[in-house]
């Protein structure tokens, strides 16, 4: 950027930190958020005082400190808000001055997709929304886009009767592109920031975790209770993917693209001894077409003892001995390289039609929400939960260091428990020896 000021940095961070605070309040983890934020504040102040080596430009650190103080203590909050109002007009003028450079939407999407390593499907989706924008607002270059243009686009979609959820998806994709342009100094403002429509149906239709009754219905279904393997369930994927999601919190595609060599035994230090621990490596691999949602998604997750008792590690060892390339070879990638797309459709039909879980808000991804709830109820620290699940860090402190050690994560997984009735079914499955 041509101007790097603490005030501007504070503006950029203020809404993000407030959003994290509000989400923590909803999650019941506000005290943890405050503690982490104060720790971050102390660390940043130490850098500004010269006690710790700075990891960023001092003006950036000063801006982040000011934003944290504004949220935690209300210090200078009014001044920062006033600066936002003054900055808006200046930034649009600055955008106009940049109009001697001309970046088309197509060039921006291509640059974004190449730098962020996006697949063809994601690039195509973002290209499509730029066409929607040009058709309704006009063919301005990226440098000339203003907040008023984004609002006009949003209003036209509303007038056309486009649903709120669909509108917000389009606005999110535009925001992604324009924020990328902002980060690459093509524009002076985040023109799409904060613009969305209220979706009255979103809260009502938001995914929810499996409650105990739904979890019991799933685990009592014929795949787990009787050993059935429907053709749409793609062999052992029908049995293992739901259980893996329940005990790891991993995403469906992360599990579906596992290879036998991704499940290995590693040694961890426990006091003066070294103990073997089974772990799952969730990682990207361009050679095999393995993709992850974000950088934080690459991680190591210890295998829960319940999965070991059910025979998961024996299943993996058999796959290695047989020379299989994939843990679930019946899952085939679609045109976008996604291995679990069709399987996910089968699972929804199985969950509704066979297991009798009728609530449309409960889907496969709900097992990830269930893991989050169970981990919290098992006393696993929030930062550890995020590392196990591959969530991006919530604040700057999360980017320092390499995270919790494998020993700490392994100990956390041993504490992880699911509801009693569901665990009783899991225990009964051991006698069936699906290995």
Domain region containing 177: 103-182
pLDDT, mean of residues 301-317: 95
Residue 93 has pLDDT above 60, yes or no: no
Range ranked top by mean pLDDT from 74-88, 158-172, 178-192, 304-318: 304-318
Q: Is residue 93 part of a domain?
A: no
Is the full-model pTM beyond 0.75? no
Structure confidence at residue 392 (pLDDT): 57
Q: Could you tell me if 321 and 243 lie in one domain?
A: yes
Number of domains in the chain: 3
Structure confidence at residue 77 (pLDDT): 54
Residue 188 has pLDDT above 80, yes or no: no
Structure confidence at residue 133 (pLDDT): 96
39-61 CB burial, b ≥16 within 10 A, e <16: ebbebbbebeeeeeeeeeeeebb
Please count the residues of the chain.
435
Residue 421 has pLDDT above 60, yes or no: yes
Q: Is residue 121 part of a domain?
A: yes
State the chain's mean pLDDT as an integer.
85
pLDDT, mean of residues 104-118: 92
Q: Could you tell me if 134 and 267 lie in one domain?
A: no
pLDDT tens-place string over residues 353-389: 999 999 989 999 999 999 999 999 999 998 899 999 9
Q: How far apart are CA 34 and CA 71, in angstroms?
A: 10
pLDDT tens-place string over residues 323-340: 999 999 999 998 888 899
pLDDT, mean of residues 407-435: 83
Q: Is residue 197 part of a domain?
A: no
Q: Could you tell me if 386 and 251 lie in one domain?
A: yes
CATH, residue 168: 1.10.150.130
Residue 53 has pLDDT above 90, yes or no: no
**Contact present, 426 and 242 (Cβ < 8 Å):** no
Q: How far apart are CA 237 and CA 257, in angstroms?
A: 11
pLDDT tens-place string over residues 256-306: 999 999 999 988 876 677 788 999 999 877 776 667 766 668 899 999 999
Q: Would you call 41 helix, strand, or coil by DSSP?
A: helix
Structure confidence at residue 238 (pLDDT): 97
Q: Could you tell me if 131 and 43 lie in one domain?
A: no
Structure confidence at residue 2 (pLDDT): 41
Residue 86 has pLDDT above 80, yes or no: no
Q: What share of the chain is helix, strand, coil (3-state, %, to 5)?
A: 60, 5, 30
Q: Could you tell me if 48 and 173 lie in one domain?
A: no
Q: How far apart are CA 387 and CA 398, in angstroms?
A: 10
Structure confidence at residue 288 (pLDDT): 66
Q: Where are the alpha helices (DSSP H) in 280-328?
A: 305-310, 312-321
**Contact present, 27 and 391 (Cβ < 8 Å):** no
Distances (CA, A) of 226 to 143, 222, 229, 318: 61, 5, 9, 22
Q: Could you tell me if 40 and 150 lie in one domain?
A: no
Q: Could you tell me if 225 and 132 lie in one domain?
A: no
CA nearest 325: which of 376, 378, 257?
A: 257
Residue 433 has pLDDT above 80, yes or no: no
pLDDT tens-place string over residues 167-184: 999 999 999 999 998 888
Is residue 430 very low, low, confident or very high in pLDDT (cuts 50, 70, 90)? low
Q: Could you tell me if 318 and 393 lie in one domain?
A: yes
Q: What would you report as the CA-atom Rg of the chain, rounded to the nearest whole angstrom?
A: 24
Q: Could you tell me if 222 and 156 lie in one domain?
A: no
Q: CB under 8 Å to 238, separation ≥6 — which residues?
A: 223, 229, 230, 346, 347, 350
Q: Could you tell me if 248 and 335 lie in one domain?
A: yes
Q: Could you tell me if 167 and 35 lie in one domain?
A: no
- Structure tokens of 384? 């550890």
Q: What percent of the chain has pLDDT over 70?
A: 85
Q: Would you call 282 helix, strand, or coil by DSSP?
A: strand
Residue 394 has pLDDT above 90, yes or no: no
Structure confidence at residue 367 (pLDDT): 96
pLDDT, mean of residues 141-162: 92
Comparison of pLDDT for 187 and 86, the residue scoring more: 187
pLDDT, mean of residues 138-144: 90
Q: Could you tell me if 286 and 377 lie in one domain?
A: yes
């Amino acid at each position: 950027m041509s101007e790097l000021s603490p005030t501007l940095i504070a503006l950029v961070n203020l809404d993000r930190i407030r959003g994290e605070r509000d989400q923590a309040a909803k999650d019941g983890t506000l005290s943890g958020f405050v503690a982490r934020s104060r720790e971050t504040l102390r660390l940043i102040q130490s850098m500004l005082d010269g006690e710790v080596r700075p990891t960023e430009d001092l003006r950036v650190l000063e801006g982040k400190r000011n934003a944290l103080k504004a949220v935690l203590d209300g210090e200078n909050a009014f001044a920062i808000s006033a600066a936002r109002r003054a900055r808006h007009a200046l930034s649009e003028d600055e955008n106009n001055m940049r109009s001697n450079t001309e970046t088309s939407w197509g060039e921006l999407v291509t640059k974004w997709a190449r730098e962020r390593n996006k697949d063809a499907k994601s690039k195509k989706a973002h290209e499509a929304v730029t066409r929607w924008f040009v058709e309704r607002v006009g063919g301005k270059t990226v440098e000339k886009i203003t907040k008023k243009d984004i609002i006009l686009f949003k209003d036209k979609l509303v007038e056309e009767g486009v649903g709120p959820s669909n509108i917000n998806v389009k606005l999110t994709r535009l925001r992604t592109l324009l924020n990328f342009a902002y980060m690459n100094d093509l524009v002076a403002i985040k023109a799409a920031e904060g613009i969305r429509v209220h979706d009255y149906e979103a809260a009502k239709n938001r995914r929810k975790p499996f409650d105990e009754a739904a979890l019991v219905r799933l685990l009592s279904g014929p795949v787990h209770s009787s050993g059935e393997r429907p053709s749409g369930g793609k062999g052992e994927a029908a049995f293992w993917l739901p259980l893996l999601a329940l005990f790891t919190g991993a995403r469906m595609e992360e599990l579906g693209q596992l290879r036998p060599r991704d499940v290995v035994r590693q040694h961890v230090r426990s006091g003066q001894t070294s103990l073997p621990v089974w772990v799952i490596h969730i990682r990207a691999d361009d050679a095999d077409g393995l993709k992850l949602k974000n950088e934080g998604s690459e991680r190591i997750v210890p295998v829960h003892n319940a999965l070991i008792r059910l025979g998961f590690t024996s299943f993996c060892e058999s796959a290695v001995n047989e020379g299989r390339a994939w843990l679930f070879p019946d899952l085939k990638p679609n045109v976008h390289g996604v291995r679990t797309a069709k399987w996910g459709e089968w699972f929804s039909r199985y969950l509704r039609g066979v297991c009798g879980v009728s609530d449309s808000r409960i889907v496969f991804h709900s097992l990830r929400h269930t893991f989050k709830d169970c981990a919290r109820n098992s006393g696993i620290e929030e930062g550890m939960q995020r590392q196990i699940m591959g969530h991006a860090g919530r604040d700057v402190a999360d980017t320092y260091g390499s995270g919790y050690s494998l020993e700490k994560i392994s100990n956390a997984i041993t504490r992880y428990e699911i509801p009693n009735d569901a665990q009783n079914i899991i225990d009964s499955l051991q006698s069936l020896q699906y290995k």
